Amino acid sequence: MSAEQLPKDFLWGGAVAAHQVEGGWDQGGKGVSICDVLSGGAHGVDRVITDGVQPGVSYPNHQAVEFYSHYKQDIALFAEMGFKCFRTSIAWTRIFPNGDELEPNEAGLQFYDDLFDELLKYNIEPVITLSHFEMPHHLVKQYGGWLNRKVVDFFVRYSEVVMKRYQSKVKYWMTFNEINNQRNWQYPLFGYCCSGVIFIDHDKPEQAMYQTLHHQFVASAKVVKLGHEINPNFKIGCMLALVPIYPWSCHPDDVMFAQEAMRECHLFGDVQLRGYYPSYILKEWARKGYQIDMQPEDGQTLREGCTDYLGFSYYMSSAVQLSAKGQKKEDAITGFDGGVKNPHVKASEWGWQIDPVGLRYTLNSFYERYQKPMFIVENGFGAVDKAEADGSINDDYRIEYLKAHIDQMKKAVVEDGVELMGYTPWGCIDCVSFTTGQYNKRYGFIHVDKHDDGTGTFKRSKKKSFDWYKKVIASNGAEL
């Protein structure tokens, strides 16, 4: 690698999740997942978690964008862009429809065999998330979700089956997607989708959140160790939603407040990448009187199951001000107490603060903390795309966003020395938004003709950003 270039083996690609693209929610023996009972929503209109699948309710994830039946066409388009990798998830309920079966569903296993074979035909490496908000609904109803330690064994069984099955086809794995979203325990959507638990229904919601997380940390560590036994060449990462938190001012109180807020991100990396609970969280638990049930062997399990790399999503930064603590502010959309609008950055239509330099800052901050490879597995710009009279979509705003972030990413690697594995922009093909359940909040290089009112043909077409990203990949990031 020259002083001005990214590594030649840099993994350019795109990212999705099974529940946001596949559809086929009841095909091939698939069971009901937690996202199958999420209604549609909108900006400012929460998605509703229903008690099972209810008649007359719109569930956008049931169809999504029909990747289940269109994947060959879509992968051909990914190959045309020059993808080196493609990040998706395995839908847990395709493999174990209820989650507690002893034997897997062969039809589900065969689907992912076919999917991975199609990717490898074009020399596209699968990057696979084992749990991306797709927990079997049965495990929620019957066991109470991840608050029940029995779910650890169910997840390890599922992970063992797929890692053995695909050991010659998949090299890159991640355990839990954005596991740290659960710190927003006040919002049912995040806890429910991460772990099948609505924390506000519990007497001690925050304690319940930490107990749930402990079970997931143990499960992740067990799976990492098991995966390395199945294939020592596996690269198994954790995956965090990273939002750098700046102090609103240089007042020492704001600076200290920002540092404390960042612990809400650091905790999840500290446990999964270092293998132990940091002192600050142990002090917090003692101060609050929390009792987290742990087995005697859990400490050793965490130490033996550290992940190989840090995969993360980056969309925005946040700023906090001590004097705003406890106040609800309309522009504080990242879930951090005391969040305030940063006057130095722009924001998207959904209020997400656009901060390319924050990506470089994040890469440096976390690489210096953990000294392990990093992988940007989500980054992108959600917008309402408008088609021209001829049907074309000139998404220059998306190109501008991605160009600025890739430029800062390159500086982190070339100038700062961060070890970065790859870059997979989120929603490389239009998909259902996780937070709002919308189709019209689009991220893709590929447009899918499907709309929030239920209309659409699912026809695929290229946006202006398609050819732009193709050029970026062909030049290994030299041409932006």
Catalytic residue ranges:
378
The number of angstroms, rounded, from the C-alpha of 26 to the middle of its chain's C-alpha atoms is 23
What's the one-letter identity of residue 202? H
Dihedral angle over CA of 334, 338, 342, 343, nearest 10: 140
CB count within 10 Å of CB 100 equals 16
**Which residue in the block uniquely carries the two structure tokens 């008649």?**
55
What's the CA gap between 400 and 445, in Å, rounded? Answer: 13
Q: Which amino acid type is present at position 305?
A: G
3-state SS assignment for residue 58: coil
What H or E segment, with its residue span, contains residue 123?
Answer: none
* Nearest alpha-carbon partner for 158 in 173, 179, 178, 147: 173
Q: What is the DSSP string of 10-72?
A: -EEEEE--HHHH---TTSTT---BGGGGBPP-BTTBPPPB-SS--TT---GGGTTT-HHHHHH
Q: Helices then strands (H, E): number in the chain?
A: 14, 15
Give the number of other Cβ atoms within 10 Å of residue 113's Cβ. 14
Please report which helix (H) or strand (E) contains residue 139, including its range. helix 137-143
- Residue 444 region by backbone torsions, left for phi larger than 0, else alpha for psi between -120 and 50, else beta: beta
Distance CA 472, CA 444 (A): 15
Report the amino acid identity of residue 86.
F
C-alpha 377/C-alpha 466 separation (Å) is 18
Please work out, in degrees rounded to the nearest 5, the angle formed at the alpha carbon of residue 164 by the alpha carbons of 159 and 170: 85
Question: Is the distance from CB of 209 to CB of 67 less than 8 angstroms?
Answer: no
